[in-house]
Structure 1
Amino acid sequence: MSIAHRWLATDWGPPEHWRFAPFTVSAPRAGEVTIRVRAAGVNPADAKHVARARPGTELPVAIGYEVSGTVIAVGPDTRIVTGPVTVGDEVIAFRVRGGYATELTVPAEKVLRKPAPLSHAQAANLLLAGTTAAEMLHTVGARTGETVLLHGASGAVGVSVLQQAALRGIRVIGTARSARLETVRRFGGIAIEYGAGLTDRIVAYLASEGIARIDAALDAAGTDEAIATSSALVADPGRVVTIVAPRAASEHGFRAIAGSMPESARFRDEARAPLVALAESRRLTVPVGAELPLEQAPEAHRMLAAGSVEGKLALIP
């Protein structure tokens, strides 16, 4: 056992209420590994899940779901998802508890090898966005040759959708604000600025290119405009999915997915290894906009909420 530090929510509320505290890292048992964290991914869910009381969840709550680092101890008879593991291996861990830490011991079933082309900051942000993107494309049944509308295309999930869709020959029309349109283009999307007249601009583009229809829509924005545009342009509401507007999905007959749903969790677990393989072969990358010291986790979430950084944020112990 060793002493490390981690971020804890000791009360429900915003990140400013969290506490950076020492804790004892347990030695790994069979089926576990201990990781020295080199980077922790920063995701909206990290703060959302402790913003208010949740049934079945007791305080304190260790913060952080996704890390990249180095294995420093391995339990007996232990393999990770991608195969054998030894001390010194670089790995990533996803759907863990307490990733905002200097060290942590986690189940080996949550650990995969780190893709060598990615930095630790990139690798720590690969799987939450990547598996969400993969599930969105899967949920609407997007196929080669189809045209998909993507709201929030310049965000982390959107950028992963753009890359994964391009690999499968799926055309993506991505909406974003004017300052982020180049990001959409850089990752292979057709960029259209959101705002008043969005539906008309999309229809005009389709006509100019001789594209018959929008086959499906993916919503990573959750705005009224995104919902209305998707409703207007996609004939089958079963081919519209949202990750941020479950109430609107219920009202309009759309699909809503979330990592907390058992079906989504199963799909995302299965999607991890293929995404690692794509990153290993340099066909999938993760833009990182800023790296902050681990001690500045609340500031990272202020930056995330303000949308002041293009690309993912990482906390570095």
Structure 2
Amino acid sequence: MRAAVVSDSGDDAAFSLLERPDPRCGPDDAVMRITAAGVNRADILQRRGLYPPPPGAPEWPGLEAAGTVAEVGAAVTGWRPGDRACALLPGGGYAERVAVDASLLLPVPAGVTDVEAASLVEAACTVVSNLDAAGARAGETLLVHGGSGGVGTAAIQIAKARGMRVIATAGGAARAGRCAALGADHALDHRAGGWVDEVRALGGADVILDVVGAAYLADNVRALRTGGRLVVIGLQKGARAELDLGALLTKRATLLGTTLRARPLAERAAIVARVRDEVWPLVPRIVRPVVHATFPLAHAGDAHAALESGEVFGKVVLTVP
């Protein structure tokens, strides 16, 4: 099979389409013939050498993919060759085939293309696992930073389906407007400044999903309500910052940090099962995949450049012929 393998340089053109051995199917695995693979910021970090794949995962990136089951292991039930499927992967999605533990497979929802399915798996798993970690409840207010991104667009829709009030931030009035069109009750242009005061004027946030990291830490604490929970799920603007513990104590607030890829298989499988039960019945009628652009697998570098431009709304997806 062919895979988009990262060269040593790490720049956005540093992919080569190379022949690699076909994946072997273990007893608990399914081998999927890939037709589409989502592109995530974690892939960019891996390309730069900052987020190495876990032991046993392929060397090339790709945390989610969709296609057709080609082979199943002897212990696998509920799946057979020919089934349309998508999967949460520890890596290896930038290829023509991938082997994955069958507990990480999801059916492609009816009325959804493989490209759309590949755009939603990782984001839905990230959102559901972090809302659960924060104990998010109907009637509470969720603040989503990066509302125009892959995780952000999914978070707006999933939180609204849970009965939450959603505030989203995005760069630019037009992008904020598109967040509102997805269902955000309030969409704020963070480039205009003053988002903290706007959130506080709206009563503050019970839960914050933050992809920004260090640069927003102090402002996020200010934006929390008493008893609020700040969940840091990305470090786009730094990993180190000072924290006013007094402010955290005064608000009786909770600071959480989570990852998805590094969790044990059983935890990832439980998250996938939760997404299948809660989110998949809502796709695409209530939770709609948002795909900004597609690129052929051979142009994975161009897909990374697009994502790094900051102009993507939703997800970028690779297509595999």
Provide Cα deviations, 1:101-136, integer angstroms capped at 9, x if missing partner. 112233323322222232111111222111111122
Label 1:30 to 1:56 Cα distance change in 2 as closer, same or farther (>3 A): closer
Q: Contact conserved, 1:12 with 1:53, CA < 8 A, in 2? A: no
Shift of 1:233: 2.4
What does residue 315 of structure 2 align with?
312
Label 1:55 to 1:45 Cα distance change in 2 as closer, same or farther (>3 A): closer
| 1:255 matched to 2:266 | no
TM-score (norm 2): 0.83
Unaligned stretches of 5+ residues in structure 2: 249-254
Shift of 1:298: 0.4
Code of the aligned partner of 1:227: L
| 1:103 matched to 2:100 | no
Label 1:239 to 1:109 Cα distance change in 2 as closer, same or farther (>3 A): same
What does residue 298 of structure 1 align with?
301
1:173-188 to structure 2, matched below 5 A, reads: 173-177=167-171, 178-188=173-183
| 1:286 matched to 2:289 | yes
Code of the aligned partner of 1:183: R
1:167-206 to structure 2, matched below 5 A, reads: 167-177=161-171, 178-189=173-184, 190-194=186-190, 195-204=192-201, 206=202
| 1:22 matched to 2:13 | no
Shift of 1:12: 6.1
Label 1:74 to 1:267 Cα distance change in 2 as closer, same or farther (>3 A): closer
Label 1:49 to 1:250 Cα distance change in 2 as closer, same or farther (>3 A): farther
C-alpha separation between the residues in 1 aligned to 2:125 and 2:222?
28
Label 1:21 to 1:55 Cα distance change in 2 as closer, same or farther (>3 A): closer
Label 1:25 to 1:142 Cα distance change in 2 as closer, same or farther (>3 A): same
TM-score (norm 1): 0.84
Q: Contact conserved, 2:104 with 2:272, CA < 8 A, in 1? A: no
C-alpha separation between the residues in 1 aligned to 2:317 and 2:26?
29
**Aligned equivalent of 1:158, options 152, 162, 175:** 152
Label 1:310 to 1:37 Cα distance change in 2 as closer, same or farther (>3 A): same
C-alpha separation between the residues in 2 aligned to 1:169 and 1:25?
45
C-alpha separation between the residues in 1 aligned to 2:137 and 2:53?
39
1:219-258 to structure 2, matched below 5 A, reads: 219-222=210-213, 224=215, 226-236=216-226, 239-245=229-235, 246-248=239-241, 254-258=255-259
Counting aligned pairs with the same residue, the percent is 31
Let me know the Cα RMSD of the aligned residues: 2.7
What does residue 78 of structure 1 align with?
76
Label 1:184 to 1:223 Cα distance change in 2 as closer, same or farther (>3 A): farther
1:44-123 to structure 2, matched below 5 A, reads: 44-52=41-49, 61-79=59-77, 84-123=78-117
Q: Which secondary structure does the structure 1 equivalent of 2:94 belong to?
A: coil
Code of the aligned partner of 2:160: A
Code of the aligned partner of 2:187: A
**Number of residues paired by the alignment?**
302
Shift of 1:268: 4.3
Code of the aligned partner of 1:191: A
What does residue 209 of structure 1 align with?
none
Shift of 1:21: 0.3
Q: Contact conserved, 1:216 with 1:240, CA < 8 A, in 2? A: yes
Shift of 1:93: 1.6
Q: Contact conserved, 2:25 with 2:31, CA < 8 A, in 1? A: yes
Shift of 1:227: 2.7
C-alpha separation between the residues in 1 aligned to 2:52 and 2:176?
40
